[in-house]
Amino acid sequence: MITHELIERIEGEAVLDFQTDKSGAVQDAAIRFLHFRGMEAILEGRNALDALVITPRVCGICGHSHLIATVKMIEDAYRNAGVAIRISDKATAIRQITLSCELIQNHIKWLYLVMLHESGKMMGEEPTVALKALYVSSQVNQLCALFSGQWPHSSYALPGGVSCDPTHIEVMQALKILSDVERFIEDEVLGCTPEVFEQAMRDNEVLSLSGDFGTVLRNFERLKVLDTGKSHGRFLVLGDKSVAMANGIRNSADFALVSEDDSQTFEHGGKTYAKNALYNGEFYEGGPLARALVQERTGITDLYRTYGDSAIIRLSARVAEMVSLCAQVRQLLTSLDLSQPSFIPPPAIESISAEGIGIIEAPRGSLIHRATIEKGKIVSYSIITPTQWNLGNGTASNLGIAQKAMIGAESIAKASLIFRTFDVCSVCTTH
């Protein structure tokens, strides 16, 4: 039997086409995204700096990631044109702080608005508004705005640095907010300190954590989906240091092996607007789990050894990343050297003709911006979003990551829940 399931309450919507057997188990699943906005075409012909305003509008929840990818792309174009461009350590650190804030708020929203809500609903609970989570994510966004002016849709990062020139007052406010966020994660999300959480992952005891994350895991266990959702076990991180991991072996990743495949799109008689992103011709998983595994972070790596790439580890990896990002933001804030320049003016963009690539780690995985610039104007622009890696629609012999994870699920409802563990963003996928 074939069922079309409209998945809502993600960023945008997706349609899943399920093929099920008599018992209702999922035998095949196709992922379709039906909205398209033509962002790349909107950028062409514009001044390259305008992209700093346009690309954040690719996505309301991860627009800041797009901003940082754009600015890196432009800076890469400067260098490829043979023009020196310098970024102070301070500006680099501030960019990292604001980018990390975006990841943290994203993960909190996903845990509460999507996973706690959906898994609770399947347990027969009446969902309520997760006000405490929304409040704390608005605080994280406030921390970001102390530097970026606003969230969402700031354009404060420019080739050469950042536009803000903070004082210790902003740093103090930021640290205060950060303490509140850390307290929320301890008291509400985990129900324990980060150290106890780390130990629980190593000892395979995360199920007994008392916080809301533990509740999600226990919901998953009762629904018998906790250790389902296995995929290819191939992981890719291109943003920080490039690593591809397959069959448990880590290799440095080569950007030249990245390709896009549009064979499943409407343009070619298919049923989706999303192009697949492939590495070496194959689907690789990106995002918090990939980042933790390639960096061999303890806790997640231990859990992975026990469970493989199943639901429990995708859930744990996003939560563990919230924790480690808070620590990273704290470290960056406390070591910020405010005496350095925020911005070191580069030569005018009109003098630049070159290609540029900007790759960063966004909430859901590696985000790639690539453009050709001619005398400061954008000739062509192409964006590969993280969800194109995870939510690609493959063929029977080469299944996409989430596709493979859903096949074999006992029911459509369970497959849809597994789908959501990937933190689906249809808005980004079909920019």
Residue that the structure tokens 């990292």 belong to: 96
Q: In angstroms, rounded to a whole number, what is the distance separating the alpha carbons of residues 260 and 270?
A: 15
Identify which range of 21-29, 165-173, 240-248, 393-401 contacts other proteins by CB under 8 A: 165-173
List binders of other proteins among 332-351 (CB under 8 A). 339, 341-343, 345
59 part of the interface to other proteins, by CB under 8 A: yes
316 part of the interface to other proteins, by CB under 8 A: no
Element spanning 354, H or E: strand 354-362
Q: Which is nearer to other proteins, 6 or 123 (CB)?
A: 6
Q: At residue 321, what is the residue type?
A: E
Q: In angstroms, rounded to a whole number, what is the distance separating the alpha carbons of residues 123 and 103?
A: 28
Q: In angstroms, rounded to a whole number, what is the distance separating the alpha carbons of residues 428 and 35?
A: 10
List binders of other proteins among 69-128 (CB under 8 A). 91, 109, 113, 117, 127-128
Selected binder of other proteins within 26, 61, 367, 378 (CB under 8 A): 61
Torsions phi, psi for 339 (to 5 deg): -80, -15
Q: Which is nearer to other proteins, 30 or 130 (CB)?
A: 130
Q: In degrees, to the nearest 5, what angle opens at C-alpha 265 toward C-alphas 264 and 266?
A: 130
Strands, E assignment, 33-68? none
Q: Which is nearer to other proteins, 161 or 358 (CB)?
A: 161
Q: In angstroms, rounded to a whole number, what is the distance separating the alpha carbons of residues 212 and 134?
A: 14
Q: In angstroms, rounded to a whole number, what is the distance separating the alpha carbons of residues 65 and 107?
A: 14
207 part of the interface to other proteins, by CB under 8 A: no
Query: Which residues are CB-contacts of 236 (< 8 A; sequence separation ≥ 6)?
Result: 243, 244, 245, 253, 279, 284, 285, 286, 290, 365, 366, 389
Identify which range of 158-166, 215-223, 262-270, 402-410 contacts other proteins by CB under 8 A: 158-166
135 part of the interface to other proteins, by CB under 8 A: yes
Element spanning 187, H or E: none
Show the tokens assigned to 223.
């629904």
138 part of the interface to other proteins, by CB under 8 A: yes
Binding-residue pattern over the window 10 to 29 for other proteins, x denoting contact by CB under 8 A: -xxx----------------
Q: In angstroms, rounded to a whole number, what is the distance separating the alpha carbons of residues 303 and 126?
A: 31
Per DSSP, the three-state class of 241 is coil
Q: In angstroms, rounded to a whole number, what is the distance separating the alpha carbons of residues 56 and 94?
A: 18
In the complex, what is the shortest distance from the CB of residue 368 to other proteins, in angstroms, rounded to a whole number?
19
Cβ atoms 350, 357 nearer than 8 A: no
Selected binder of other proteins within 34, 83, 354, 357 (CB under 8 A): 34
Q: Which is nearer to other proteins, 8 or 21 (CB)?
A: 8
Angle between helices 89-109 and 311-334 (to 10 degrees): 150
In the complex, what is the shortest distance from the CB of residue 140 to other proteins, in angstroms, rounded to a whole number?
10
Q: Which is nearer to other proteins, 9 or 224 (CB)?
A: 9
Selected binder of other proteins within 25, 28, 49, 92 (CB under 8 A): 49
284 part of the interface to other proteins, by CB under 8 A: no
Selected binder of other proteins within 129, 172, 207, 327 (CB under 8 A): 129
In the complex, what is the shortest distance from the CB of residue 123 to other proteins, in angstroms, rounded to a whole number?
15
Show the tokens assigned to 269.
């008689």
In the complex, what is the shortest distance from the CB of residue 109 to other proteins, in angstroms, rounded to a whole number?
8
Selected binder of other proteins within 20, 100, 119, 141 (CB under 8 A): 141
Identify which range of 35-43, 70-78, 207-215, 250-258 contacts other proteins by CB under 8 A: 35-43
Per DSSP, the three-state class of 334 is helix
247 part of the interface to other proteins, by CB under 8 A: no
Size of the chain in residues? 431
Residues that bind other proteins (CB under 8 A): 6, 8-9, 11-13, 34-35, 37-39, 41-42, 46-47, 49-50, 52-54, 57-61, 63, 91, 109, 113, 117, 127-129, 131, 134-135, 137-138, 141-142, 144-156, 158, 160-165, 167, 173, 339, 341-343, 345, 427
